[in-house]
Structure 1
């Protein structure tokens, strides 16, 4: 027996409106987090910048912590997109360099959200947000695989624990060195990005 109706895969106009508004909200939050940080960002400011009532904002996100969790989830999803788009011919260390390059570039563009790393309420919001934890798990798993492969081939130091390498690479996304160099005005964003990638992977010790 054939179904009389075929369900449409298209989103309704209302769903599209809600999605558009949510994207606008996250774009605004992303910008505010990168420029002002979590503590100085307010829900009133987010609503005003998006052009909606504060009550409407709360229909999408119940708290500032929920906003931050959604924003960080989107960032991780974009990082995973970057990982997915890497050439199959890349070596493990080339892939690591490419993702660090993307992270530093994103930071310099002012679109890298910054969150306090020790705030318990934020950590709780992130840990309780399933999409965030899933995306983070995928990214860590891929990084761990590349780090192991690069160390086994001698492309990364085998004397460093893999956790040290992992957290060092993750830290490049919020490295204040990039900000200091940008403020100095002596280098372009591209040059700053390459300099940070170079010091991350090659260090500062001269070649003998």
Structure 2
């Protein structure tokens, strides 16, 4: 990589890190490009050399977070049981979402078709490519569990719809500021998460066991 290209890349990462810090302080909808430039110590025009709009910054942050999550899931060690590998990936995903609520908000915002229609072709293509990578990971995990006899033979695509719907629901709760545990007398976040993990697993298996309210992970 050329020296100038590396400097450009480093400055872009600095702008994204600065934007994320400002979004946490002030709210991502309220921060202006001028505020970002001032905090990063660059001219406003410099920001626009990297990002065509504030929406492009949102998209870049969502893509960066989603890629880092995917890298973690793909690097996780395989368990002797493929079904347990699926559970571990789901647990890791919930942990990442719960520890990064702002990024979850941005991911949901950027997932809307009307938002993506306003992005340039390269960013729209990046979201599509990332979706395909997540889908491929899910297919590999499910196909391994089917081959091991742990999941009945089913279309991975149809299973993906149900899993994705549950994830979208959890993400929406996190983005809204919590999981509503106080309204449902759930003993702990860990137990809540484990219930959801087992609910997803039950869907993959085609049954829905009730581990009971006091079940522990």
TM above 0.5, yes or no, is yes
Q: Does 1:112 pair with 2:116?
A: no
Q: Structure 1 length normalisation: TM-score?
A: 0.67
Q: Structure 1 residues 202, 35: closer, same or farther in 2, change over 3 A?
A: farther
The residue number in structure 2 matching 1:206 is: 210
The residue number in structure 1 matching 2:215 is: none
The secondary structure found in structure 2 opposite 1:162 is helix
Q: Structure 2 length normalisation: TM-score?
A: 0.65
How far did residue 22 of structure 1 move? 1.2
The residue number in structure 2 matching 1:78 is: 68
How far did residue 44 of structure 1 move? 3.1
Q: Structure 2 CA distance, aligned partners of 1:147 and 1:34? A: 40
Structure 1: segments with no counterpart, 5+ residues: 1-8
Q: Structure 1 residues 172, 61: closer, same or farther in 2, change over 3 A?
A: same
More helix by share: 2
Q: Structure 1 residues 28, 164: closer, same or farther in 2, change over 3 A?
A: same
User: Cα RMSD (Å) of the superposition?
Assistant: 4.0
| Structure 1, 67-76 or 156-165: larger mean CA deviation | 156-165
The residue number in structure 2 matching 1:174 is: 171
How far did residue 58 of structure 1 move? 0.6
Structure 1 runs of 4+ with >6 Å offset: 186-189
Q: Say whether the 8 Å CA contact 1:24–1:50 is kept in structure 2.
A: yes
Q: Structure 1 residues 165, 148: closer, same or farther in 2, change over 3 A?
A: farther
Q: Does 1:145 pair with 2:135?
A: no
Q: Say whether the 8 Å CA contact 1:92–1:149 is kept in structure 2.
A: yes
**CA deviations over 1:113-132 (Å, ceiling 9, x no partner):** 42334351334527642333
How far did residue 55 of structure 1 move? 1.5
Q: Say whether the 8 Å CA contact 1:107–1:174 is kept in structure 2.
A: yes
Q: How many residues align?
A: 196
Structure 2: segments with no counterpart, 5+ residues: 213-217
Q: Say whether the 8 Å CA contact 1:147–1:156 is kept in structure 2.
A: no
**CA deviations over 1:141-167 (Å, ceiling 9, x no partner):** 121332344467344895993242341
Q: Say whether the 8 Å CA contact 1:76–1:139 is kept in structure 2.
A: no
The answer to which structure, 1 or 2, has the higher relative contact order (CA under 8 A, 6+ apart) is 1
